[in-house]
Amino acid sequence: MANINLSDVELSQLLNKAIIDSLGEGGRQRIVEMAMKFLTTDSPCDSYGRSRPSPLKEIIHDAVRDMARTHCRALIENDPGFQAQITSIFSDASAKMFAGEQREKLVEAFYGALWKTFDR
């Protein structure tokens, strides 16, 4: 009797082929349909009424977000004019936040956060 030596990868490939071949054309078609439905269907709503986008939408959203992040990072790091605009907007927003009624709200919020931190 001959010994047959197969690597884990080879064994896995042979098993996958045997399973796929045993399904027949109808079984393979059904698997493709189920996979496509899974990839394109949003998940059902949770108890808060929120649903998650389909896996395919998540992949596309992730790719777009990553591309936007890369572009924005390059713009912020390499464009002095853009940096100046961001600095100006941040300075104006900070001044507004620390002025008048907003300042008092900020002090109260900061006090509340500190109180919670030390009141344990």
* Tens digit of each residue's pLDDT (9 = 90 or more) over 24-59: 899 989 999 999 999 999 988 878 888 889 999 999
State the alpha helices, DSSP H only, in the chain: 8-40, 55-78, 80-97, 100-118
pLDDT grade, residue 120 (50/70/90)?
low
Residue 54 DSSP one-character state: P
How far, CA to CA in Å, does 95 sit from each of 22, 104, 109?
71, 13, 17
Residue percentage of the chain with pLDDT more than 70 = 98
Whole-model pTM: value is: 0.52
Mean pLDDT in residue range 13-31: 91
Q: Is the pLDDT of residue 104 over 80?
A: yes
How far, CA to CA in Å, does 115 sit from each of 8, 97, 102?
59, 21, 20
